[in-house]
Amino acid sequence: MTEIRTPDLSKFDPRKAHYIISTVAIIKDGRFLITKRAPHEKVFPNKWTLPGGKLEMDDYIHMPTDGKYQWYNIMEHSLRRESLEEVGLDIKNIRYLTSLVFIRPDGIPVVVLSMYADYVGGEVQLSEDMTEFAWVTAEDAKNYDFIEGIYEELVMLDRILKDENPGEWKKEI
């Protein structure tokens, strides 16, 4: 196990600090799993989204390193954990879709890595932070009140699944 060093906060630059979040569009039978955030959520309450969450030090710090100081595939590990915690599903073949940055109402900057993955198993079991779920096509997704940008991510993913070039994220509607 790697020795955990106490950070030297005198060298810490808050302008470079971000929460790092990954989200995942889980694909099952050509449909995507979407979830609705609970009313108690601080950011985007009652909005439809994709499962995901924050990278935590516990996602890697207690694991053996892949070299002297580094860990690989940590976002994938974190996303598998988040998928199990939020919706109770196992996933595989995690791939990158796009990224974004936003600043939360409390001023914390957030980097989001949007991914997609194949469903492996499990039955949807929502965490207390989610109130509803649906398996949708990109066409169905037009009828949901998503966090801004999520619908466009599903359109990109739909293009990928049709072996089309998704291009970079762009506002669709």
10 lies in a domain?
A: no
Rounded distance, CA 123 to CA 140, Å? 21
Tell me what pLDDT residue 23 has. Answer: 97
* Domain that residue 149 falls in: 16-161
Domain count, the chain: 1
CATH of the domain at 116: 3.90.79.10
In whole numbers, what is the pLDDT of the chain averaged over residues?
92
81 lies in a domain?
A: yes
Tell me what pLDDT residue 13 has. Answer: 85
Three-class SS state of 38: coil
Phi, psi of 111 (to 5 degrees): -105, 125
61 lies in a domain?
A: yes
* CA trace torsion 45, 167, 170, 110 (10° rounding): 40
86 lies in a domain?
A: yes
38 lies in a domain?
A: yes
Tell me what pLDDT residue 17 has. Answer: 87
168 lies in a domain?
A: no
127 lies in a domain?
A: yes
Tell me what pLDDT residue 4 has. Answer: 64
Three-class SS state of 11: helix
Cβ contact 86:51 at 8 Å: yes
4 lies in a domain?
A: no
| Mean pLDDT within 144-173 | 91
The tens digit of pLDDT for each residue in 84-140 reads 999 999 999 999 999 999 998 889 999 999 999 999 999 999 999 999 999 999 999
With bands split at pLDDT 50, 70 and 90, how would you rate the model's confidence at 173? low
